[in-house]
A and B are shown apart, each in its own frame.
Chain A
């Protein structure tokens, strides 16, 4: 900080700061336009839990498990990833309502899936992507949806279904954790 003599003026022209600020403002506008045209891929903000560890986490936290059956080639799955799982305002409440588990299908890319992915898909009857299934800690299937109903739709569905999961749900079909 520049010291001034006790009798000197206290004002200093912030010219350099203004130049830097205006250059940055111009850069902001240019980068904003560029990113609008080529949106960058946003990082996933959901703390996904390993499928094997999910039942134990669900029992400990009292939250139901959300299985997200997805695939890299599936456009609606990627839209859901960008609009829900990469958005702070959706990813954060999601993590508070359920134990999220992502199950990625690699059939198309590698010709086969890992035994755990296969058994989960078989056990929950997954035939399309994306499929979201909510299962309580005891393995009772609470509800499922196929397709992507939009960010708000997904979050509302998770909210109501996970809320149901905290109450007794005798109608749920029991599923054996692989």
Chain B
């Protein structure tokens, strides 16, 4: 574990005014919703967008700014660099989700409607798995384009898939619909923990799909990084 790589990445993420502004937006409104409705589940959707936000440009920004050339003259392997970027993005998003959840739980206690421990556990486990999945996909996309172009790539992939979903719905093509579901599942890789405490077994397909998306994304990211030719003149 290279703590310098992690520390510098986290410092960069948490000092970016744009990221901090968007983080406030992503967390403030759900917290207000929790306070008004008493529903902790309103926080369920924040983990994925936060992971995308903190992983966006994880590698692409280093490539565009020329930092990567300087970084790789140090004793750091490319796979290690990719894995640390993934880990860093996960830690950043997780820290925000944890703080938001603690605030939400405190608000619910103040409101007199404390949440069940099981609901909080489910929420956190779903957040952790969503963050791991989304971050891996974003790190992979970040190896493909410079700057925060991965964000545009991610958004356009979601948009194109949604168009295909509409087409599959209109034409009633189940195979296309299934393929779109798989792509959407890969872009937003997460794991449902709804089975927890119900006595039911989790879906093996869901677990394997989630792990498969993460390993594939990281394998692609490392392979692309290995093929990158970096020189001071590469621009």
A10-B72, A95-B39 known; A17+B218 contact, CB < 8 A? yes
A24-B211, A35-B203, A40-B203 known; A14+B219 contact, CB < 8 A? yes
Q: Is the pair B203, A25 in contact by a Cβ cutoff of 8 Å? A: no
Interface size on A, residues (CB 8 A): 37
Is A167 interfacial (CB-CB < 8 Å)?
A: no
Q: Is the pair A1, B2 in contact by a Cβ cutoff of 8 Å? A: yes
Interface contacts (Cβ under 8 Å), in number, total 97
A17-B215, A45-B194, A95-B39 known; A24+B208 contact, CB < 8 A? yes
Is B41 interfacial (CB-CB < 8 Å)?
A: yes
Is B216 interfacial (CB-CB < 8 Å)?
A: yes
Within 8 Å by CB of B77, from A10, A40, A45, A88, lies A10
Q: Min CB distance, B109 to chain A, in Å?
A: 15
Is A112 interfacial (CB-CB < 8 Å)?
A: no
Residues of chain A whose beta carbon lies under 8 Å from any beta carbon of chain B: 1-6, 8, 10-14, 17-18, 20-21, 24-25, 27-28, 31-32, 34-35, 40-45, 47, 61, 86, 88, 92, 95-96
Query: With A10-B72, A44-B198 given, can you name 19 additional A-B contacts, CB distance below 8 Å?
Result: A1-B77, A1-B80, A4-B75, A6-B75, A10-B78, A11-B77, A12-B77, A12-B226, A13-B226, A14-B79, A14-B226, A17-B215, A24-B208, A24-B212, A27-B208, A28-B212, A31-B204, A34-B205, A43-B200
Residues of chain B whose beta carbon lies under 8 Å from any beta carbon of chain A: 1-2, 37-39, 41-42, 44, 72, 74-81, 83-84, 119, 182, 192, 194-195, 198, 200-201, 203-205, 208-209, 211-212, 215-216, 218-219, 222-223, 226
